[in-house]
Amino acid sequence: MPHFHFVSPGLTADGTRPNFDRWDGIAGMTEFYRGKRVVVTGCASGIGAQTARVLAAQGAHVIGLDQRRGEEATAGFFEVDLGDPVAVDAVAEAIGGRVDVLFNCAGMAPTQAKMAILKVNYLGTRHLAERIAALMGAGGAIVSVSSNGGLRWRTRRATLLDLVAQASFADGMSWLKRHEGEIVNGYAFAKEALTVWTLHESARFIKRGIRLNCTSPGAVQTPMLSEIEEKIPAAAIDGATDPIGRRSEAEEQVGPLLFLGSDAASYVNGVDLSVDGGYSAIVALRE
Ligand SMILES: NC(=O)c1ccc[n+]([C@@H]2O[C@H](COP(=O)([O-])OP(=O)(O)OC[C@H]3O[C@@H](n4cnc5c(N)ncnc54)[C@H](O)[C@@H]3O)[C@@H](O)[C@H]2O)c1
């Protein structure tokens, strides 16, 4: 059976350019996910739960992954700890078949232990993406939720590229253990690594017709932010909501994610899209 070679309805056979006979650009975005097989991590809560909900409403076949079950009803669900590469391999095997789009929304809060965060938010997320990419054909897309907590990746570019060059989960883990003492903020470093991995690997993935992009949200009102607020004063969090002057709702993160995963973004690759009300723009001009 010639499966795995997926041709997106809106793209040419090599998956890299719109088929203008059938393509209706941005107008087709709401129809894009109908019948698509989509994997969403972190589907039990917050941004992942909202992403899974909207995708299901748009007619996608949503396979949710999380370390625990949430209230969202996805067509399929796998319980998995993204910090466990053997479990990630088993889930990718169990998903099998063709996958059209992967949304990496799962993540651990900055309040958790440093090495656990690095393992889940970077190493495990990357490992899953590589495994799911093997189930995609030309026209596939991977969109990860990074963070504007990682917006200073340029200040550590060489170090982060060295980490990204570690080919396997185990190699990455050894690298992190060797450099543990130098990593001050595990959450920021993990998000910087995820962003740099996305930018770097996008050049490689696109040769297979798979686009790789990420979003960097600012403060989003989810259970994770409530957890953060128990340790960090609300005023410090709201300091990073400048200039829009309010926090994001989880739903407001979904549109940019769905856009990047769809054919409406067929020429968008290797992008870190800030979804933070303009905060990173201010920082970029200031620094
Ligand atoms: N909330 C914010 O302010 C904010 C800001 C920037 C980026 N982000 C990022 O957005 C993403 C979604 O976060 P959220 O705010 O919706 O948080 P959330 O806590 O509501 O949801 C995160 C989900 O990830 C799952 N998860 C955590 N560790 C896991 C593991 N080891 N294996 C499998 N699943 C795991 C959790 O069970 C949970 O369902 C995260 O990557 C987070 O870092 C959030």
Which residues, in sequence order, are CB contacts of 90 under 8 Å at separation 6+?
80
Q: How many CB atoms lie within 10 A of CB 158?
A: 6
Q: How confident is the model at residue 28 (pLDDT cuts 50, 70, 90)?
A: low
Band (pLDDT 50/70/90 cuts) for residue 12 is confident
User: 1 pLDDT band (50/70/90 cuts)?
Assistant: very low
How many CB atoms sit inside 10 A of residue 147's CB? 24
Mutate to test the pocket of ligand 1, among 224, 227, 247, 274 (most ligand atoms within 8 A of CB): 224
- Alpha-carbon separation of residue 83 from 74, 90, 128, 143, 175 (angstroms): 22, 13, 10, 19, 16
Any bridge partners for residue 102, and if so which?
Answer: 39, 142
Identify whether the C-beta of residue 46 lies closer than 8 Å to the C-beta of residue 250: yes
For the beta carbon of residue 175, count every other beta carbon within 10 angstroms: 18
d(CA 215, CA 276): 9
3-state SS class at 235: helix
Residues in the chain: 287
- Ligand 1 centre from 127 Cα, in Å? 17
Architecture in CATH for domain 34-285: 3-Layer(aba) Sandwich (3.40)
CA distance 195 to 190: 9
Looking at per-residue pLDDT, the higher value among 132 and 231 belongs to 132
Output the DSSP codes for 101-156: EEEE-----TTS-HHHHIIIIIIIHHHHHHHHHTT--TT-EEEEE--GGGTTGGGG
Compute the distance between CA of residue 85 and CA of residue 90 in angstroms, rounded to an integer.
Answer: 9
Residue with CA at minimum distance from ligand 1 atom 23: 42
pLDDT per position as a tens digit, 181-215: 999 999 999 999 999 999 999 999 999 999 999 99
ipTM of the complex: 0.99
> How far is Cα 112 from Cα 117, in angstroms, rounded to an integer?
7
Query: Which atom of ligand 1 approaches the CA of 116 most closely?
Result: 31
Burial of 185 (0-12, 13-18, 19+ CB in 10 A): middle
Pocket probe for ligand 1: among 220, 231, 253, 280, the residue whose CB has the most ligand atoms within 8 Å is 220
CA distance linking residue 187 with residue 283, whole number of Å? 19
Pocket test for ligand 1, best of 43, 45, 77 (most atoms within 8 A of CB): 45
Separation of CA 64 and ligand 1 centre (Å): 13
The pLDDT tens digits of the residues spanning 213-263 come to 999 999 999 999 999 999 888 988 998 899 999 999 999 999 999 999 998
Which among 96, 54, 97 is positioned nearest to 262, based on CA atoms? 54
